[in-house]
């Protein structure tokens, strides 16, 4: 009897040990990645690296200035396209809790969220690059905005659902028309949640490379024209990482460092906003 109990207790401790071991082992890659990025990346970062254009191999120096500008342009472009659509669809879904169309829309949002990024890249290629006959920042922005949409829609819907009904009733009782109630009462009340969603979606697309391979394409020169190919940080990392030159590999690490800082900053701001101005009632 005593022995039986001891075996069971031993099994229990063993299992607990295994769970802890596996759980913490899975955090290990994160620290390895961050360690590698900092170790290899921070050494190449200086003003020259941040603001100069890439140079051809053989010439030392050069930087990722055009890639940083390109990434910022792509974020703005895709934001301009997807934010209005995303918020409007989010309001629609939060208002139409039941109904045939809204449940179909909800399903489509889920499917769109799971669609592989490379497929979206091909779609943007067929829709924008083929008719215009050139790779362009525009097509990259469209591809990325399709990837942003589901995140914005989901967070807008979830946030607006949390806003209590009496807020809406109070406004309607004062004779405020429905659309003004939505725009001036409900939407501002859920603003922090919506902004969080937008920032999270930006963090998601900042590192996307696959949709840019056949759309924004990459460009060694500074370009501010949205109808011309444009460079971006993830594309530059990919390009440098696949090259055979050790110097370019260190550049890839440097660019990765900047990219991780970008995404982490967006994530942190998003979390800060949702913690500080949490929609509470």
Partner 1 sequence: MMSNCKSPAGIDRSEKRFTWILTASGAFIVVLLIAIFFTLFITALPAIKKFGLTFLISKSWNATAESFGSLPFLVGTLLTSFLALIIAIPFSISISMFLGEYCKEGAISNFLRSAIEVLAGIPSVIYGLWGIFLLVPLVRSLEMQLGIVPYGVGILTSSLILAIMVIPFSASLGREVISLVPGDLKEAAYSLGATRFEVMKNIVIPYARSGIIAGILLAFGRAIGETMAVTMLIGNSSFLPTSIFSPANTMASVIANQFSEATGIVASSLIYIALVLFLVTTIVNIIGNYVIHKISIEASKEVT
Q: Which of residues 215-274 bind partner 1 (CB under 8 A)?
A: 234, 237-238, 241-242, 249, 252-253, 256, 259-260, 263-264, 267
What token pair was written down for 130?
A: 């083929």
29 binds partner 1 (CB under 8 A): yes
Least distance in angstroms from the C-beta of 119 to partner 1: 5
CB of 76 to partner 1, least distance (A): 19
Q: Which of 44, 74, 109, 163 contacts partner 1 by CB under 8 A?
A: 109
Segment interacting with partner 1, rule: CB under 8 A, options 49-57, 64-72, 102-110, 273-281: 102-110
User: Is 178 or 277 the residue whose CB approaches partner 1 more closely?
Assistant: 178
What CA–CA distance (Å, rounded) separates 112 from 259? 25
Q: Provide the minimum distance between the beta carbon of 86 and partner 1 in the complex, in angstroms, as a whole number.
A: 8
Of the listed pieces 54-62, 109-117, 186-194, 223-231, which binds partner 1 according to CB under 8 A?
Answer: 109-117
Residue 148's CB: how many other CB atoms inside 10 A? 26
Least distance between partner 1 and beta carbon 177 (Å): 5
Write each residue from 56 to 95 as x if it is in contact with partner 1 (CB under 8 A), else as -, in one continuous string: -----------------------------x--xx-xxx-x
DSSP 8-state assignment for residue 125: I
Decide: residue 247, CB within 10 A, 0-12 exposed, 13-18 middle, 19+ buried: middle
Beta carbon nearer to partner 1, 16 or 47: 16
Residue with Cβ nearer partner 1 (11 or 224): 11
Q: Measured between alpha carbons, how far is 163 from 167 in angstroms, rounded to an integer? A: 8
The site for partner 1, by CB under 8 A, has a size of: 85
Q: Which residues contact 70 (CB under 8 A, 6 or more apart)?
A: 137, 216, 219, 223, 230, 231, 232, 233
Using alpha carbons only, give the angle 90, 262, 51 rounded to the nearest 5 degrees.
Answer: 130
Other CB atoms within a 10 A radius of the CB of residue 118 amount to: 13
User: Least separation, in Å, of the C-beta of 19 and partner 1?
Assistant: 5
Given the complex with partner 1, which of 224 and 271 has the nearer CB atom?
271
Task: Determine which residue in the list 2, 3, 4, 25 makes contact with partner 1, applying CB under 8 A.
Answer: 25
Smallest CA-to-CA distance from 93 within 111, 106, 77, 79 is with 106
Residue 61 or 177 with smaller CB distance to partner 1: 177
Residue in this structure with the two tokens 């939407």, named with its chain if needed: 187
Cβ within 8 Å of residue 146, ≥6 positions away: 82, 112, 120, 123, 124
């Amino acid at each position: 009897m005593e022995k039986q109990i001891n075996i069971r207790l031993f099994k229990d401790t063993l299992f607990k040990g295994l769970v802890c071991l596996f759980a913490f082992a899975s955090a290990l890659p994160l620290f390895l990645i961050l360690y590698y990025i900092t170790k290899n990346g921070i050494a190449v970062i200086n003003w020259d690296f941040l603001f100069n254009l890439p140079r051809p191999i053989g010439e030392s120096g050069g930087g990722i200035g055009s890639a940083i500008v390109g990434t910022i342009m792509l974020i703005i472009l895709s934001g301009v396209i997807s934010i209005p659509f995303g918020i409007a669809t989010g309001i629609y879904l939060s208002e139409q809790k039941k109904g045939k169309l809204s449940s179909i829309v909800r399903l489509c949002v889920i499917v769109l969220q799971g669609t592989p990024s490379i497929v979206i890249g091909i779609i943007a290629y067929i829709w924008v690059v083929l008719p215009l006959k050139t790779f362009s920042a525009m097509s990259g922005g469209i591809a990325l905005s399709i990837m942003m949409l589901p995140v914005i829609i989901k967070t807008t819907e979830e946030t607006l659902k949390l806003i209590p009904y009496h807020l809406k009733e109070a406004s309607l009782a004062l004779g405020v028309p429905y659309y003004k109630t939505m725009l001036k009462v409900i939407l501002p009340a859920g603003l922090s949640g919506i902004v969080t969603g937008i920032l999270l979606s930006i963090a998601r697309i900042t590192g996307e490379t696959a949709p840019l391979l056949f759309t924004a394409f990459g460009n060694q020169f500074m370009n501010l024209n949205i109808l011309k190919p444009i460079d971006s940080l993830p594309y530059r990392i990919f390009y440098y990482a696949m090259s055979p030159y050790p110097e370019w590999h260190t550049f890839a690490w440097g660019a990765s460092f900047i990219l991780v800082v970008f995404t982490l900053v967006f994530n942190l701001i998003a979390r800060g906003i949702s913690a500080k101005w949490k929609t509470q009632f």
